[in-house]
């Protein structure tokens, strides 16, 4: 339980509702746990005492009621009927309570259940109001944390599993908090009320022995709760992990729908998904087994306790009225034990989900704003890396002792074999990753001394596969600079050669682009990405081979747009094709994490065997 207590702070603004819900829960628990047995003990004797006493005398008086009728002349059935009639008349004659009094006593029972129903409803409604508020806050907090975690974290974790934690796991935690906050008030007070009643009845009648015998089974109920709880925790953790696996499989499959069909992978994907769901089915059935066996176990133990109470009551000479009230109290007493056992199961499943959530919430933010940031406005774009090392995994360096200086206004191409460190080098500039040694500076200022927002406001990125959100073209363009006017957005689209095709769409700039821009062609998406870069007008521009996957017509338009875009900017071009670096004034050649050579194309072709071999191999292939 204490693991969930810190999350009660998410109830800010709902504390009055929580207090009122707890009060309603207390009323519901006490009215049921103490009120019902007390009515049975105090009211039933008033109703049945005189009548039962008269009934005890009825056989004797009925025998005198017909002195002139010979027993021999009466059949057994008629004698029994006459005796029953005489008994009924005698009971009516001895009744001392009026109809109004009897009705008043009888209505106490529905009154108790009415109070319990109203208070229980208010408790559940308000607790769900608070619980859904916790869910909302928890999801936003988790989503906020995901926005600030470094890209390396997403490289180590699967997207589908993270989505499962954001949706399914938070839902389970919310249910746990809601049910626990409610039942941890209602059930203990119900139990306390019933125990108090049993203690008072036992002391008034036959002492502490009756009380101890009645409650002997309560401690025994703890053993199955603890045993089953340990089993359930392991299965619940495995259950949530497999839910993440299924979410990840579905996410990958839906994102690669074209590739699945192109390579005929439909049956393979179905088989893999079926196998995972079958494993989930087996684990879920074990969770169901351990969850559902708890309540019957407590019932069996409780029935043994009631049996011993009956045995003790017989030899102790306890009256029927007292025993009925004790039996009612035991029923009320054992019911909370079952619910608290179920609550323990809920806590166990909730704890498994909470562990998965806390893996994100407690993840340290490696890339954060400095305590005392250096105030920066628009940077010039003079980039330097000094003795920089970087590794995605400890002991596996991607960059080693990298030293480079890219003056402001330089168009610098990064070339080299795949995996040589080109993209990593570019990603260190906007601080997507943190250098493990050395430093990265812009205009002589260490990027770790700037606010992240200030740094990235000075950098524009056009990637090889630009991502568009499922929104209108206009709002996708506005991401470049969200305070831009509509005229500025349209001007950026014109510069990127995107305005013509946008206006040709049915809704123009208000056309929805679909998920990840699925309703647009590759060239259209690339031109929208370029328009965002024009709109941002940042002094540093990073191009990740922006034309490599385009047809010749789209490539030509984008090349024309790029010539205008790079003017006056410091440009890093991650080059996969050498035809894209003909305008570069500086080239860095990467090889296994090192900068193997630096210079212009002519200098490198003459002096760098690696560069010459890469260039010749590509042109020979062409």
pLDDT, one tens digit per residue, over 540-552 is 999 887 665 555 6
Classify the C-alpha dihedral 376-378-380-381 as positive or negative.
Answer: positive
Kindly report, residue by residue over 422-458, the tens digit of the pLDDT.
889 999 999 988 888 999 999 999 999 999 989 999 9
Between 26 and 423, name the one with better pLDDT: 423
Phi, psi of 599 (to 5 degrees): 160, -170
pLDDT of residue 58: 47
Q: What is the mean pLDDT of the chain?
A: 77
Share of the chain above pLDDT 70, in %: 73
The order of strands in the sheet holding 383-393 is 396-406, 383-393, 437-442, 445-446
Give 285: exposed, middle or buried? Use CB within 10 Å, 0-12, 13-18, 19+. Answer: exposed
Answer yes or no: CATH 3.40.50.300 is held by domain 383-621: yes
For 399, phi then psi, to 5°, come to -125, 140
**Tens-place pLDDT, residues 563-575:** 888 888 899 988 7
Whole-Å CA distances, 413 to 548, 582, 614: 15, 9, 14
What is the pLDDT at residue 69?
40
Q: Which of 20-24, 34-38, 483-487 has the highest mean pLDDT?
A: 483-487
Using pLDDT thresholds of 50, 70 and 90, give the confidence band for residue 63: very low
- 82 compared with 148, residue with greater pLDDT: 148
Exposed, middle or buried: residue 28 (CB in 10 Å: 0-12, 13-18, 19+)?
buried
Contacts of 131 (CB under 8 A, 6+ apart): 174, 175, 177, 178, 181
pLDDT in the model for residue 70 = 44
Contact 378, 539 (CB under 8 A): yes
Query: Taking residues 330-345, what's their average pLDDT?
Result: 69
Q: State the pLDDT confidence band at 50, using cuts at 50, 70 and 90.
A: very low
Which pLDDT does position 367 carry in this prediction? 83
pLDDT in tens, 576-602: 777 677 678 899 999 988 999 998 888
How far is C-alpha 580 from the geometric centre of its chain's CA atoms? 46
Nearest residue to 603 (alpha-carbon basis) of 620, 586, 621, 581: 586
Mean pLDDT, residues 506-527 taken together: 84
The highest-confidence range among 16-30, 275-289, 581-595, by mean pLDDT, is 581-595
Q: Which fold has domain 5-361?
A: ABC transporter transmembrane region fold (1.20.1560)
Residue 441 in tokens: 């500076």
Q: What is the pLDDT of residues 117-139, one digit of tens each?
A: 888 888 878 887 887 777 788 88
Mean pLDDT of 234-255: 77
Closest Cα partner for 472 from 428, 541, 416, 528?
528
- Find the range with the poorest average confidence among 208-217, 320-329, 481-490: 208-217
**Which candidate, 296, 298, 322, places its Cα nearest to that of 310?**
322
Please write the tens of the pLDDT for every residue from 53-62.
Answer: 444 444 444 4
User: Comparing 226 with 493, which gets the higher pLDDT?
Assistant: 493
How far is residue 533's CA from residue 526's CA, in Å, rounded to a whole number? 11
10: left (phi over 0), alpha (psi -120 to 50) or beta: alpha
Contact between 529 and 480 (Cβ < 8 Å): no
Looking only at the bridges linking them, the beta strands covering 383-393 and 437-442 are: antiparallel
Whether residue 371 contacts residue 532, with contact meaning beta carbons closer than 8 Å, is answered with no
12, 104 contact by CB (below 8 A): no
Distance (Å, rounded) from C-alpha 266 to C-alpha 270?
A: 6
- Residue 465 near residue 530, CB atoms below 8 Å: no
Calculate the CA 363 to chain-centre distance: 16
pLDDT of 384 higher than 90? yes
Q: What is the DSSP string of 227-258?
A: HHHHHHHHHHHHHHHHHHHHHHHHHHHHHTHH
In the chain, where the domains are located: 5-361, 383-621
Give the range among 65-79, 82-96, 483-497, 576-590 with minimum mean pLDDT.
65-79
| Cα–Cα dist 546/539, whole Å | 18
Q: Mean pLDDT check: name the lowest of 63-72, 472-481, 498-507.
A: 63-72
What does the pLDDT read at residue 450? 93
pLDDT (0 to 100) of residue 454: 92
Contact (Cβ atoms closer than 8 angstroms) between residue 453 and residue 614: no
Q: pLDDT digit string (tens) for 145-198?
A: 888 888 878 878 888 788 888 888 888 887 777 766 666 667 777 777 777 777
pLDDT, residue 56, reads: 44
pLDDT at position 356: 85
Angle at 311 between CA 310 and CA 316, to 5 degrees: 95
Q: What is the pLDDT of residue 48?
A: 60
Please tell me the distance from the alpha carbon of residue 608 to that of residue 416, in angstroms, as a whole number.
Answer: 12
Q: Which helix (H) or strand (E) holds 196?
A: helix 170-205
Phi, psi for residue 160 in degrees, rounded to 5: -60, -40
Only one residue has tokens 């860095």, namely 588
Determine if the pTM surpasses 0.85: no
Indicate if the pLDDT at residue 305 is higher than 80. Answer: no
Give the pLDDT score at 334. Answer: 67
């Amino acid at each position: 339980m204490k693991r969930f207590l810190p999350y009660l702070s998410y109830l800010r603004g709902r504390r009055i509702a929580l207090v009122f819900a707890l009060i309603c829960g207390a009323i519901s628990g006490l009215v049921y746990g103490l009120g019902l047995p007390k009515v049975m003990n105090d009211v039933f004797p008033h109703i049945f005492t005189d009548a039962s006493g008269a009934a005890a005398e009825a056989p004797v008086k009925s025998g005198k009621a017909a002195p002139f009728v010979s027993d021999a002349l009466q059949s057994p059935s008629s004698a029994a009927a006459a005796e029953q009639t005489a008994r009924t008349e005698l009971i009516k004659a001895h009744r001392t309570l009026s109809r109004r009094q009897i009705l008043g006593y009888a209505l106490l029972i529905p009154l108790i259940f009415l109070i319990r129903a109203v208070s229980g409803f208010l408790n559940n409604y308000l607790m769900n109001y608070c619980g859904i508020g916790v869910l909302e806050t928890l999801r936003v907090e988790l989503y906020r944390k995901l926005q600030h975690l470094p890209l390396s974290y997403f490289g180590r974790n699967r997207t589908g599993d993270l989505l499962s934690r954001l949706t399914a796991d938070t839902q389970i935690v919310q249910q746990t908090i809601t049910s626990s906050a409610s039942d941890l008030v209602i059930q203990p007070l119900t139990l306390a009320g019933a125990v108090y009643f049993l203690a008072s009845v036992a002391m008034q009648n036959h002492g502490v022995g009756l009380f101890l015998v009645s409650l002997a089974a309560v401690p025994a109920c703890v053993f199955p709760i603890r045993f089953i709880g340990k089993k359930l925790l392991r299965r619940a953790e495995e259950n949530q992990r497999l839910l993440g696996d299924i979410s990840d499989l579905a996410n990958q499959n839906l994102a690669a729908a074209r590739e699945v069909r192109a390579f005929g992978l439909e049956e393979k994907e179905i088989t893999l998904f079926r196998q995972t769901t079958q494993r989930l089915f087996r684990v879920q059935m074990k969770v169901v087994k351990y969850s559902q066996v708890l309540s019957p176990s407590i019932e069996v133990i409780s029935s043994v306790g009631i049996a011993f109470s009956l045995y003790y009551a017989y030899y102790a000479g306890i009256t029927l009225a007292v025993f009925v009230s004790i039996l009612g109290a035991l029923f009320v007493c054992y019911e909370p034990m079952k619910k608290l056992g179920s609550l323990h199961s809920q806590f166990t499943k909730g704890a498994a989900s909470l562990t998965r959530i806390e893996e994100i919430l407690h993840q340290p933010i490696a890339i954060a704003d400095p305590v005392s940031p250096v105030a920066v406005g628009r940077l010039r774009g003079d980039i330097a890396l000094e003795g920089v090392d970087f590794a995605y995994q400890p002991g596996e360096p991607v960059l080693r002792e990298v030293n480079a200086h890219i003056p402001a206004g330089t168009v610098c191409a990064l070339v080299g074999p795949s995996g040589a460190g080109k993209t990593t080098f570019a990603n260190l500039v906007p601080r997507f990753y943190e250098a493990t040694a050395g430093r990265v500076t812009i205009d002589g200022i260490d990027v770790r001394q700037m606010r992240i927002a200030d740094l990235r406001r000075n950098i524009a990125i056009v990637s090889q596969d630009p991502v568009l959100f499922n929104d209108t073209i206009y709002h996708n363009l506005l991401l470049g600079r969200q305070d831009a006017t509509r005229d500025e957005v349209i001007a950026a689209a014109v510069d990127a050669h995107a305005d013509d095709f946008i206006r040709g769409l049915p809704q123009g700039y208000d056309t929805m682009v679909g998920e990840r821009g699925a309703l647009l062609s590759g060239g259209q998406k690339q031109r929208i990405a370029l328009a965002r870069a024009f709109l941002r007008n940042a002094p540093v521009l990073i191009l990740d081979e922006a034309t490599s996957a385009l047809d010749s017509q789209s490539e030509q338009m984008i090349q024309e747009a790029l010539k205008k875009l790079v003017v006056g900017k410091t440009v890093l071009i991650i080059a996969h094709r050498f035809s894209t670096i003909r305008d570069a004034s500086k080239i860095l050649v990467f090889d296994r994490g090192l900068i193997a050579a630096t210079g212009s194309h002519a200098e490198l072709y003459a002096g760098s065997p690696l560069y010459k071999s890469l260039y010749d191999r590509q042109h020979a292939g062409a």
